[in-house]
Chains A and B, each alone.
Chain A
Amino acid sequence: MSGAVTIHIRLRRDEDAARLTTFELPEPSVAGISAESWSGASVSTALQYLQRAVDPGLAYSLSCRRGLCDTCAMRIDGVVTTACTVPVHDGMVIEPAKPGIFLRDTIVELSLVRKARIGPEGQQGPVAHD
């Protein structure tokens, strides 16, 4: 069952229109991945491989790798789930979790502290002593 598989990722950068792009994943051993087949690797591992070897601009989030932090949430074959816990299969479709909160490619706005945030969107600076 080992061998190359094909996956489709909806890429969107800046104001470009989103486009479904097809990527070939070579056999895991060729990709430097320790699994007998892609079914032993996660979608996050596939994205890491693609950023490393194929599309350096590919954006994804990853932290705990065990389904706890939800930072890697995306829509996989139509279902919103954590990419780090879903095994790769041939023909899968990967999209941002929600188009409305997309930031870049598979990354969406998942901030838990949005109202208390400062920075590029310009919110309040230091709070006075109280």
Chain B
Amino acid sequence: MFRGTRQGLGCFVGWGSLMDHWDVIVIGAGGAGLTAARHARAEGASVLVINKSFVGRSGATITSGGGISVAGETLVKLGYDVDGGDTEENFIHDTIRSGHFLNDQRLVESMVVGVGEEVSYLRDKGVRIGVTKKAPGHSSGRGIHITGPDMQRAVTSIAVKAGVRFREDFQSAGLLTHDGAVVGVAGLDRRTGEVEAIHGRTVILATGGTTSNWRLRTAPEELTGDGHAMALAAGAELIDMEMLQFLPCCLVAPEIWRGLQFPWTIGPQAGVRAWLLNKYGERFLARWDPERMELATRDVVAAASATEVLEGRGSPSGGVYLSWAHLPRDVIDNFPRWSKSYSMDWRWQGFDMNPLIDRIRAGYAIEVAPAAHFSLGGIRIDVDGATGVPGLYACGEATGALHGGNRLSGNAGSQMLVQGRQAGLAAARAAKSNTPPVTGQNWAELKETIEAPARRDRGIVPLEVKQRLTGLAETALAPVRNGVMLGKALEELRDIARNALPELANRTSDPGYNRDWSDALECQASVPVIEAALLGALNRTSSLGAHQRHDTTGSRPERLTHSITSRQGDELVYKAEPVKFSLLAPAA
């Protein structure tokens, strides 16, 4: 492999005519990216997977509960003993109804029809698969189970065996373009501090969601929406970015447990009749869903809980109370006997949950709040993962509109597998016919932007800006929103973009493992990502699924529209676009 010349700051300059290039570059090594990589290899493409940190040790895939939705009839064809009466059509309809009809129905169909083949492949590779008997929100026990760590391990080793190559600790920060087409990626090697250009005939964005822009979250540390920002800059559109799924009943304290969904999993999610109470001890879900109460859908439970806090009826740590005190203790004590994901000693994921269980046994309630969990909106794609920008594809949680306004459990697992395949195949095929990439015309400019925080002697500490950004998203883009707060947040965000981003400066001059530098690049990405969500939220003036407006509850627009954001020059612009109902219309 050719190396550029080292210059100042430890950066590489362009690769010139001797430039090496890949057929397909995949950014992000979660379930979606590695599935894309495998399929692209199977088409004969040379594939480089780039990941921000260690491959197989980052992203949401490893933390997943492991549900993967598959229609019963598909599972029966694969030889599983389940209810074959559950058709693909049922699965499609459940997904669209639960998404409040905001889904891109072609993406829904593609996921439902395509997931069987991917599951069958994983099973043939010896991956441990469990069958789900009852899946929350689905009209039947539709689906299978592969634990997050098992899934991440499987897709990693399959990709390695397929001959995929990797670049670790490489934080991608911009797409290289030539005459409007994407020809590679530029980023920071976190280990060495080198800023590099890597060229490819096609690029697939599989960078996951944007959930790390919120403070209370179930999701891991690194998901700031870097892929979304890169896509916008290259000319792609984002769709329905205001739609963010919150998981209700997550722990708010102590710090070490913040964001864990443990109470939810031993409460409503398991069908256990724990009560959600406000500071007056009222079961406030009676105001939202008097029939299902705490077992209402996740978007309703999240919105109800956030409303209590917003209206001043929350608990001291900014949540509400989840209580098992009306139930005999046996219900908790015997829980691990019937739920396989729990051990009798109450070890859960990496934690000993006994102190919490002891509090529940002693009759105390637990303070809980909705935590940012999953990005429903994202990069706009078609069923082949194409973004509309030549050479640029996307898949997995980085993309938007499959789930509409709310996601059913297990559907993200199906999404990453099917969309990974579609994008991998399409990119590999496109790579065969397009011409070898030439040096990105914007390389010098990208390099300049990436290096800027390292060049400045003094300025604003990136982490401070990051904290302002997460604080802003947390407050304005909460499960319940209002126009005034959204407007203020947009003003503050634009102030950050104008006055803080150009001043970000690393506090140390060491190029390698410079966390300030990584934080600075994440801030640069977060700003347009949060702005797109704010624009969508401001313009969607009525409540729909995950987007609940406290100031206009009840009213509905005449036409259901998608929020589309794109970049024009230095500005993000918003437009509303009517939703198409190719398979199922709201009246049906």
User: Could you list which residues of chain A lie within 8 angstroms of chain B, going by C-beta atoms?
Assistant: 13, 28, 33-36, 40-42, 45, 51-52, 56-59, 61-71, 82, 84-85, 87, 103-105, 107, 110-113, 115-120, 122-130
User: Within the complex, which residue of B1, B57, B59 is in contact with A110, where a contact is CB–CB below 8 Å?
Assistant: B57
Q: Check B350 against A59 for contact (C-beta < 8 Å).
A: no
For A40, the closest partner residue in chain B by CB is B254
Q: Check B191 against A103 for contact (C-beta < 8 Å).
A: yes
The stretch of B20-28, B272-280, B439-447 in contact with A is: B20-28
For B351, the closest partner residue in chain A by CB is A85
User: Within the complex, which residue of B58, B149, B160 is in contact with A71, where a contact is CB–CB below 8 Å?
Assistant: B58
Chain B 40-60 interface mask (CB, 8 Å, partner A; 1/0): 000011111000011111110
Q: Check B220 against A41 for contact (C-beta < 8 Å).
A: no
Q: Check B58 against A113 for contact (C-beta < 8 Å).
A: no
B491 at the interface (CB under 8 A from A): no
Task: Report Cα–Cα, A52/B507, bound state, in Å.
Answer: 10
Return chain A residues, CB-CB under 8 Å to B463: 52
Q: Check A33 against B255 for contact (C-beta < 8 Å).
A: yes
Given contacts A28-B255, A117-B165, list 7 more A-B pairs with CB under 8 A. Answer: A56-B506, A113-B55, A113-B56, A118-B1, A119-B167, A126-B20, A126-B22
B224 at the interface (CB under 8 A from A): no
B180 at the interface (CB under 8 A from A): no
> Could you say which interface size class chain B belongs to?
35 or more
Q: Check A42 against B256 for contact (C-beta < 8 Å).
A: yes
Q: Check B317 against A65 for contact (C-beta < 8 Å).
A: no
Return chain A residues, CB-CB under 8 Å to B58: 63-64, 69, 71
Return chain B residues, CB-CB under 8 Å to A57: 508, 510, 514
Return chain B residues, CB-CB under 8 Å to A33: 255
Task: Report Cα–Cα, A52/B373, bound state, in Å.
Answer: 25
Q: Check A111 against B54 for contact (C-beta < 8 Å).
A: yes
For A62, the closest partner residue in chain B by CB is B221
User: Within the complex, which residue of A28, A58, A85, A116 is in contact with B350, where a contact is CB–CB below 8 Å?
Assistant: A85
User: Within the complex, which residue of A42, A70, A71, A126 is in contact with B165, where a contact is CB–CB below 8 Å?
Assistant: A126
Return chain A residues, CB-CB under 8 Å to B236: none
Task: Report Cα–Cα, A41/B123, bound state, in Å.
Answer: 40
Q: Check A40 against B166 for contact (C-beta < 8 Å).
A: no
Return chain B residues, CB-CB under 8 Å to A87: 256
Q: Check A63 against B222 for contact (C-beta < 8 Å).
A: yes
Q: Check A70 against B57 for contact (C-beta < 8 Å).
A: yes
Q: Report B453 CB to chain A, min CB distance, Å.
A: 12
Q: Report A49 CB to chain B, min CB distance, Å.
A: 10
Task: Report Cα–Cα, A117/B169, bound state, in Å.
Answer: 11
Task: List B125-147 residues whose CB lies under 8 Å from chain A.
Answer: none
Task: Report Cα–Cα, A3/B506, bound state, in Å.
Answer: 31
Q: Check A130 against B220 for contact (C-beta < 8 Å).
A: no
User: Within the complex, which residue of B20, B163, B350, B515 is in contact with A67, where a contact is CB–CB below 8 Å?
Assistant: B350
- How many cross-chain pairs have Cβ atoms below 8 Å apart between A and B? 160
Q: Report B170 CB to chain A, min CB distance, Å.
A: 7
Given A107-B513, A113-B55, A129-B46, CB of A56 within 8 Å of CB of B351: no
Q: Check A118 against B167 for contact (C-beta < 8 Å).
A: yes
Q: Check A61 against B53 for contact (C-beta < 8 Å).
A: yes
User: Within the complex, which residue of A45, A68, A124 is in contact with B149, where a contact is CB–CB below 8 Å?
Assistant: A68
B537 at the interface (CB under 8 A from A): no
A-B contact pairs, 14 of them (CB 8 A): A28-B255, A40-B254, A40-B255, A64-B62, A65-B259, A66-B350, A66-B351, A67-B351, A68-B350, A84-B256, A112-B54, A112-B55, A125-B1, A126-B21
B415 at the interface (CB under 8 A from A): no
Return chain B residues, CB-CB under 8 Å to A113: 55-56, 156, 160, 166, 168
Return chain B residues, CB-CB under 8 Å to A70: 57
Given A65-B220, A129-B46, CB of A40 within 8 Å of CB of B256: yes
Chain B 162-197 interface mask (CB, 8 Å, partner A; 1/0): 011111101000000000000000000101101000
User: Could you list which residues of chain B lie within 8 angstroms of chain A, going by C-beta atoms?
Assistant: 1-3, 20-23, 44-48, 53-59, 62-63, 148-149, 156, 160, 163-168, 170, 189, 191-192, 194, 220-222, 252-256, 258-260, 317, 349-351, 463, 506-508, 510, 512-516
Q: Check A124 against B63 for contact (C-beta < 8 Å).
A: no
Return chain B residues, CB-CB under 8 Å to A28: 255
Q: Check A64 against B63 for contact (C-beta < 8 Å).
A: yes
Given A45-B256, A112-B56, CB of A117 within 8 Å of CB of B167: yes
Task: Pick the 4 closest A-B CB pairs, nearest first.
Answer: A67-B350, A40-B254, A125-B1, A85-B350
Q: Check A111 against B168 for contact (C-beta < 8 Å).
A: yes
Q: Check A69 against B62 for contact (C-beta < 8 Å).
A: yes
User: Within the complex, which residue of A58, A112, A124 is in contact with B156, where a contact is CB–CB below 8 Å?
Assistant: A112
Interface centre among B45, B256, B259 (most CB of A within 10 A): B256
Q: Check A34 against B317 for contact (C-beta < 8 Å).
A: yes
Q: Check B255 against A42 for contact (C-beta < 8 Å).
A: yes
Task: Report Cα–Cα, A66/B259, bound state, in Å.
Answer: 10
For B464, the closest partner residue in chain A by CB is A52
Given A113-B156, A117-B166, A125-B1, CB of A71 within 8 Å of CB of B53: yes
Given A117-B167, A129-B46, CB of A63 within 8 Å of CB of B221: yes
Given A66-B349, A111-B54, A129-B46, CB of A41 within 8 Å of CB of B168: no
Q: Check B512 against A104 for contact (C-beta < 8 Å).
A: yes
Return chain A residues, CB-CB under 8 Å to B349: 66-68
Q: Check A118 against B513 for contact (C-beta < 8 Å).
A: no
Task: Report Cα–Cα, A58/B47, bound state, in Å.
Answer: 34
Q: Check B254 against A59 for contact (C-beta < 8 Å).
A: no
Q: Check B46 against A82 for contact (C-beta < 8 Å).
A: no
User: Within the complex, which residue of B194, B255, B350, B513 is in contact with A120, where a contact is CB–CB below 8 Å?
Assistant: B194
Q: Check B55 against A68 for contact (C-beta < 8 Å).
A: no
Task: Report Cα–Cα, A119/B198, bound state, in Å.
Answer: 11
Q: Check A63 against B515 for contact (C-beta < 8 Å).
A: no
Given A42-B256, A129-B44, CB of A59 within 8 Å of CB of B22: no
Q: Report A122 CB to chain B, min CB distance, Å.
A: 7
Given A13-B510, A85-B350, CB of A127 within 8 Å of CB of B167: no
Q: Check A66 against B63 for contact (C-beta < 8 Å).
A: yes
For B56, the closest partner residue in chain A by CB is A112
For A129, the closest partner residue in chain B by CB is B44
Q: Report A73 CB to chain B, min CB distance, Å.
A: 9
Interface centre among B63, B506, B514 (most CB of A within 10 A): B63
Q: Check B513 against A104 for contact (C-beta < 8 Å).
A: yes
Q: Report B62 CB to chain A, min CB distance, Å.
A: 5
For B254, the closest partner residue in chain A by CB is A40
